[in-house]
Amino acid sequence: MSKAIVSKLYDSDVFRMACRQFDKAADAINLSEDLRDRTKYPRRCMAVALPVRRDNGTTVVFEGYRVQHSLSTGPSKGGIRFHQDVTLGEVAALAMWMSWKCSLVGLPFGGAKGGVIVDPFNLSRGELERLSRRFMQEMVSFLSPRVDIAAPDMGTNEQVMAWMMDTYSNHVGHVEPAIVTGKPISLGGSEGRREATGRGVAYLVKAYLDDLKIPIREATVAIQGFGNVGSETALALAEYGARIIALSDHTAAFHRPQGIDPRKAAAYVRYNRVLHDFDGGDAITNDQLLELPCTVLVPAAVERVITEVNAPRLRCRVLAEAANGPTTNAADRVLDARGDIEVIPDVLCNAGGVIVSYFEWLQNLQNYYWTRDEVLTKLYAILDRSKASVESQLRKLKFSRRLAALTLGIERVAKAKEQRGLFP
């Protein structure tokens, strides 16, 4: 009964994909039937209408969501996405992945996610501010530093977090930086948070290349998506000595076998918002980018871009999932059968973001701030530990790396639920 109601609410390709991943992992570790649905389905969700005054005086109503997947091990934690394709099911899937990710890397958080159906590129700065503030206003009774903490995701950034933090603080009557992470440093943001996800991706890519005995200076990299995660991944990998041969965003994609300077691309995007008309190399399509011969392929944009159609044609050695959910279940089966591509699964690969968000929340609660070196050293230590536990699970149980990571994450959440018992 509850199963049917829940699946209807969230039903979508991406939610079904997250559920199938869960089912496979639950089967692999023989998770008891009693715990399965409790662990799998989101705890609760909120849908809100967001009336916003446009610059031309008219009013438009956007729809927004927040899904809190699990609150069994601490407050829930997750980003807020502004994108035209957002659905409640997508937000629920992303919240579910956040639970496994936080659990895998040992953070005292459950998973959450939020989203608004809007193309932020079509909003003026004033409209974006009014939408961000209205979203937080509607969520005031649903979020708190001890219940659910927000962060940036696709289409949102430090400035959006600043408006949300200001709105919440005005509501409660005192400054409450711990309500969101990914804030500007002047408002209690953490050193190293802006680059944390991309640096974490790059750090893990280097670690896996080391395992494969591929010198990073000989590695070529293609990256889809050039926002916060894609650009910071490119900058960090280039710093390690890798050659970035392709970049893209939703407006353009470029290929240059001799290498593209990611600093130039980042400077271009800072000024022009998007890569359109950037002089980066030969124009290609986003689909072509994914199939380029390269050492490392980094999807860093939307879900479900590696499919059963292009998976047989991928020509990378390492697939580093900086985006959440970039690989469909059918593509996963193809990659498992191929066996020649090392997949760094999303729940491990992009965990640097939530790890440093955790550090930011801790610093806010303690009012004691760390240096960038302290932040990055602690980040890398957690990534090393998490990678080691995934590799040990993979060896012990002969799982794929995704299954190894998911089973570790899911097992810890399920165990916490079991030990707490079922109320009432």
Q: How many residues of this chain bind ligand NAD (CB under 6 A)?
A: 24
Among 91, 149, 154, 316, binds ligand NAD (CB under 6 A): 154
CA-to-CA separations, 382 to 55, 87, 105, 233, 266, in angstroms, rounded: 45, 32, 7, 18, 28
Q: Which is nearer to ligand NAD, 26 or 192 (CB)?
A: 192
> Which segment (149-157, 202-210, 370-378, 399-407) binds ligand NAD by CB under 6 A?
149-157
Q: Which is nearer to ligand NAD, 26 or 321 (CB)?
A: 321
| Catalytic residue, candidates 77, 113, 183, 387 | 113
List the one residue out of 111, 307, 167, 321 whose CA is nearest residue 230: 321
Binding mask 252-291 for ligand NAD (x = CB under 6 A): ----------------------------------x-----
Distance CA 385, CA 61 (A): 45
Residue whose beta carbon is closest to ligand NAD: 227
Q: Which is nearer to ligand NAD, 114 or 152 (CB)?
A: 152
- Least CB distance from residue 100 to ligand NAD, whole Å? 13
Helix 13-28 × helix 401-420 angle, to 10°: 80
The verdict on 152 binding ligand NAD (CB under 6 A) reads yes
The verdict on 300 binding ligand NAD (CB under 6 A) reads yes
Beta bridge partners of 148: 76, 144
Among 225, 262, 280, 409, binds ligand NAD (CB under 6 A): 225
417 is an active site residue: no
The token pair at 256 is: 């240059």
Which residues in 108-147 contact ligand NAD (CB under 6 A)? none
Which residues in 349-388 contact ligand NAD (CB under 6 A)? 350, 353
The verdict on 248 binding ligand NAD (CB under 6 A) reads yes
Q: Which is nearer to ligand NAD, 190 or 224 (CB)?
A: 224
The verdict on 166 binding ligand NAD (CB under 6 A) reads no
Helix 13-28 × helix 2-10 angle, to 10°: 130
> Which segment (59-67, 148-156, 165-173, 327-335) binds ligand NAD by CB under 6 A?
148-156
Which contacts of 243-246 are long-range, i.e. CB under 8 A and separated by 24 or more positions? 243/219, 244/220, 245/220, 245/221, 245/292, 245/294, 246/221, 246/222, 246/281, 246/284, 246/289, 246/292, 246/294
Which contacts of 16-22 are long-range, i.e. CB under 8 A and separated by 24 or more positions? 17/93, 17/303, 17/304, 17/325, 17/328, 17/329, 18/92, 18/93, 18/96, 18/97, 18/325, 20/329, 21/329, 21/402, 21/406, 22/96, 22/406, 22/410
How buried is residue 139: exposed, middle or buried, by Cβ count under 10 Å (0-12/13-18/19+)?
Answer: buried
Among 72, 103, 224, 364, binds ligand NAD (CB under 6 A): 224
> Which segment (127-135, 141-149, 227-235, 360-368) binds ligand NAD by CB under 6 A?
227-235
Q: What is the DSSP letter of 306?
A: B
Asked whether the beta carbons of 85 and 38 are under 8 A apart, the reply is no
Q: Which is nearer to ligand NAD, 109 or 226 (CB)?
A: 226
Among 127, 158, 191, 249, binds ligand NAD (CB under 6 A): 249
Which residues in 302-341 contact ligand NAD (CB under 6 A)? 302, 322-324
Residues labelled as active-site residues? 113
Residues in contact with ligand NAD by CB under 6 A are: 152-155, 197, 224-230, 248-250, 286, 300-302, 322-324, 350, 353
